[in-house]
Amino acid sequence: MSLTGRTRLSILDKPLSRGKGEVSLSCFALLFSEVVQYCQNKSQTVPELQNKLHELGQKVGVKLIDLYFVRERNCKREIKLLNILLFVKSTLWKALFGREADKLEHSNDDENTYYLMEKDPLVNKFISVPRDKSSLNCAVFIAGIVEAVLTGTDLRPKLPPTGTKEQHIW
């Protein structure tokens, strides 16, 4: 036992993958559908379900920060609001969903508010929302990812308005 323990490579000893791996879209769609169903079974109301998806998204987001800043930015973190937003819009989006997010807008009314727009989020592609749950939007999962990335890069003080607004534009 101890011998295998010693010879075994820990995950930190392995080189970081380049992130070029690809998996079939059907695979992801079905997995995500199971994620949604699992959350649905655990919750009574639509907001509750959305919260659960949002939380899961955050878990993903937290891990993405480390991964992408180590891989793309030589471990240098971004601390300027606009830069990190652009990073999310282009680099992160491209890596995750194969293309950049549609638009990043600055609100006219409030200088701390930005809108990140995506017309056709990948996670919603195969989801049909039942009529009795019309307020459900599974893209809160992505909102969770984005929020975690922004929070995790220490932009918290400026963020609450941004973070919450972002969910609404989905």
Partner 1 sequence: MSRSTTRFDTKKVNSELVTLTYGALVAQIIKDLENTDDVSKQLERLGYNMGIRLIEDFLAKTGTGRCLDLKDTADKIQTAFRMYLGVQPNVANWSAAGDEFSFVLDSNPLTDLVELPEDLKGLKYCNIICGVIRGALEMVQLDVQSWIVQDQLKRGSKH
**Candidates 56-64, 79-87, 99-107, 127-135; binding stretch for partner 1 (CB under 8 A):** 56-64
130 secondary structure, DSSP code: -
Cβ neighbors of 123 (< 8 A, separation 6 or more) are 32, 138, 139, 141, 142
State the virtual CA torsion across 71, 114, 155, 12 in degrees, nearest 10: -20
Give CA–CA dist 76/167, Å, rounded: 27
Among 6, 8, 119, 131, binds partner 1 (CB under 8 A): 8
Among 2, 10, 108, 128, binds partner 1 (CB under 8 A): 10
**Candidates 59-67, 78-86, 99-107, 109-117; binding stretch for partner 1 (CB under 8 A):** 59-67
**Candidates 26-34, 81-89, 109-117, 153-161; binding stretch for partner 1 (CB under 8 A):** 26-34
Within 87-116, which residues bind partner 1 (CB under 8 A)?
95-98
Burial class (CB in 10 A: 0-12, 13-18, 19+), 24: exposed
Cβ neighbors of 152 (< 8 A, separation 6 or more) are 61, 62, 65
Minimal distance in Å, beta carbon 16 to partner 1?
9
23 scored as a contact of partner 1 (CB under 8 A) = yes
Residue placing its CB nearer to partner 1 in the complex, 75 or 134: 75
32 scored as a contact of partner 1 (CB under 8 A) = yes
Minimal distance in Å, beta carbon 9 to partner 1?
10
81 scored as a contact of partner 1 (CB under 8 A) = no
Backbone torsions φ then ψ of 114, nearest 5 degrees: -125, 150
Give CA–CA dist 134/46, Å, rounded: 9
In this structure, are residues 52 and 39 in contact, taking their beta carbons and an 8 Å threshold? yes
Q: Could you list the residues that contact partner 1 (CB under 8 A)?
A: 4, 8, 10-11, 17, 19, 21-28, 30-35, 37-38, 42, 52, 55-57, 59-60, 63-64, 67, 95-98, 122
